[in-house]
Amino acid sequence: MESRKYPEPSVVREELIKKYPPKVAKKRGKAIVINDPETIPPVQANIRTIPGIISQRGCSYAGCKGVVLGPTRDIVNLVHGPIGCSFYAWLTRRNQTRPDGPEDRNYMTYCFSTDMQEEHVVFGGEKKLKKAIQEAYDIFHPKAIGIFSTCPVGLIGDDVHAVSREMKEKLGDCNIFGFSCEGYKGVSQSAGHHIANNQVFKHVVGLDDTDKGGKFKINMLGEYNIGGDAFEIERLLEKCGITMVASFSGNSTVGQFENSHTADLNVIMCHRSINYMAEMMETKYGIPWMKVNFIGAQSSAKSLRRIARYFEDEELMAKVEQVIAEELPVVQSVINEIYPRTKGKLAMLFVGGSRAHHYQELFGELGMETISAGYEFGHRDDYEGRKVIPTIKVDADSKNIEELKVTADPEKFKPRKTEEELEKLKAEGLDIREYEGMMPDMKKGSIVIDDISHYESEKLIELYKPDIFCAGIKEKYVVQKMGVPLKQLHSYDYGGPYAGFKGAINFYRDIDRMVNSRVWRLIQAPWEKTPELEANYVTQ
């Protein structure tokens, strides 16, 4: 395969920052790093975005309400705030759910808000919140109600936790808990993930000790069922005979969370959004955790094998091999068909906190290279691996977020494996409690960019002319107007699932269509044909 000629990475880096004022250039320069998988350079991450720079990021409320709690179908997720915050979080993430039957509740199609008005901002909104909780309870009788704080709630000092306690006591049979996830609480969605983890851990996990059976019991952490991904993963686990006790939180119920401490292993898909939960569950209940990745056919096979090895059960290992042997040939036949059309093409991925890493697997299977990638809100460990955690500087923004003090539960703590057993598994190559991050998997000379700005994206596209750019809806049409197809890796556009084996096939076909469509070469903007149409600013 003849490899393409790219501009020198150091030249690219310089180009990306040279138009910025010196202070901004200095700051952005630390977030734009030339990768070397052997000696990974530090990346500036999880710090405030420079005002006005046009970031891809969202807010803490989005990470808490939308991301972590949004996919749980039977919690009434009540937003305390102005209606816009609810409206823009209403079914926009394509997180799907499948109720077990007519008795199973599904509130995800609803939009619950206190619809805060100026009057409540001035005189306080707690009364209004209590009324809204009562109303939701009277109509739906849900098992649980979550209260999510938007910016004004924190500014005026409404106490959502006190209101939750009071109403929980009053109503008696409904678990009510609040989240101080005001949009400004951190530098990005990431803060909201942490806040969500804390409250679900405090108020829900561990409430139901029922042993629901199953020989190999796991929780799936950080899989949110976008475009039906969880359905495909569930299909595979079931086929292998692995029981999923709880999913945090794609296709989940509050009952699953309550029962999740009965599982024997936590597997993590998205490290960024849920590593806190895994650590807290290990400390309190003794459940070890392991990173997996069901994006990519090979990594799905690898993840199943690693789960089987953790349980050290011959029968399970054999079953997993059988499932892989059944599933992989179909995938391989599709790769064989598509590969000649996609090999050597160039991809760029700028997505939230884990997909920019995971999806490089799928592109790799198509012979495509990811020349540049970055997270919107990942932390240094998501780039460089967990080994850097002790060296991460905790700044004022991160200090805002509560660190729960968790200890072993006097009754429920039960180590699933002894430290010696875990060490033995580790020595055999099973990386328990480990995440190596994105950079070791990227080539030398690839460019890693944290919290990429709009301007930097445009420059990158000009310099590399990638065959596909992966990001979100805010970037989509700007990039496409530059003649480059954009695949939304948040919502999957209208596609998916992309996880597991069947998902991989869907992805290959969608990408083949996009990178080989001729329409992008035919596009010419009006001002390219007739330069006199170019927009001008009137300066007088």
Q: Does residue 408 have an active-site annotation?
A: no
* Closer residue to ligand CFM, CB minimum distance, 216 or 498: 498
Q: Does residue 278 have an active-site annotation?
A: no
**Which one of 45, 59, 196, 240 is the catalytic residue?**
59
* Closer residue to ligand CFM, CB minimum distance, 180 or 188: 188
* Residue 432 backbone dihedrals phi, psi, to 5 degrees: -70, 140
Cβ of residue 334: shortest distance to ligand CFM, in angstroms? 24
Q: How far apart are CA 506 and CA 76, in angstroms?
A: 33
Cα 126-199-133 angle, rounded to 5 deg: 30
Burial of 90 (0-12, 13-18, 19+ CB in 10 A): middle
Q: How far apart are CA 348 and CA 503, in angstroms?
A: 20
Cβ of residue 67: shortest distance to ligand CFM, in angstroms? 4
DSSP letter for 67, please.
I
Cβ of residue 507: shortest distance to ligand CFM, in angstroms? 14
* Closer residue to ligand CFM, CB minimum distance, 194 or 490: 490
* Closer residue to ligand CFM, CB minimum distance, 31 or 59: 59
* Closer residue to ligand CFM, CB minimum distance, 197 or 273: 273
* Closer residue to ligand CFM, CB minimum distance, 126 or 376: 376
Residue nearest to ligand CFM (CB): 352
Q: How far apart are CA 470 and CA 486, in angstroms?
A: 5
Cβ of residue 226: shortest distance to ligand CFM, in angstroms? 5
Cβ of residue 228: shortest distance to ligand CFM, in angstroms? 13
Q: Does residue 151 have an active-site annotation?
A: no
Name residues whose C-beta falls within 8 Å of residue 540's C-beta, 6 or more positions apart in sequence: none
- Strand (E) positions, 343-401? 346-351, 369-375
Nearest to 268 by CA among 310, 218, 234: 218
Nearest to 130 by CA among 163, 161, 162: 163
Cβ of residue 48: shortest distance to ligand CFM, in angstroms? 18
Cβ of residue 224: shortest distance to ligand CFM, in angstroms? 4
3-state secondary structure (DSSP) of residue 448 = strand
Other beta carbons within 10 angstroms of residue 219's beta carbon come to 29
Q: Which amino acid is at 176?
A: I
* Closer residue to ligand CFM, CB minimum distance, 249 or 262: 249
Name residues whose C-beta falls within 8 Å of residue 4's C-beta, 6 or more positions apart in sequence: 344, 346
* Closer residue to ligand CFM, CB minimum distance, 126 or 456: 456
Nearest to 72 by CA among 209, 232, 252, 225: 252
* Closer residue to ligand CFM, CB minimum distance, 128 or 490: 490
Measured CA distances, 284 to 279, 409, 412, 531 (Å): 9, 5, 8, 66
**Which one of 93, 120, 357, 416 is the catalytic residue?**
93
**Which one of 80, 94, 120, 193 is the catalytic residue?**
193
**Which one of 28, 31, 45, 62 is the catalytic residue?**
62
Cβ of residue 428: shortest distance to ligand CFM, in angstroms? 29
Q: Which residues bind ligand CFM (CB under 6 A)?
A: 63, 67, 93, 189, 222, 224, 226, 270, 272-273, 351-355, 490
Tokens representing 370 are: 């990811």
For residue 117, the Cα-to-chain-centroid distance in whole angstroms is 32
3-state secondary structure (DSSP) of residue 255 = helix
Q: Does residue 4 have an active-site annotation?
A: no
Q: Is omega for the bond preceding 99 within 30 degrees of 0, making it cis?
A: no
Other beta carbons within 10 angstroms of residue 103's beta carbon come to 6
Tokens representing 382 are: 């998501």
Q: Is omega for the bond preceding 497 within 30 degrees of 0, making it cis?
A: yes
For residue 423, the Cα-to-chain-centroid distance in whole angstroms is 29
| Entry field: residues in the chain | 540
Instruction: Cite the active site residues.
Output: 59, 62, 93, 193
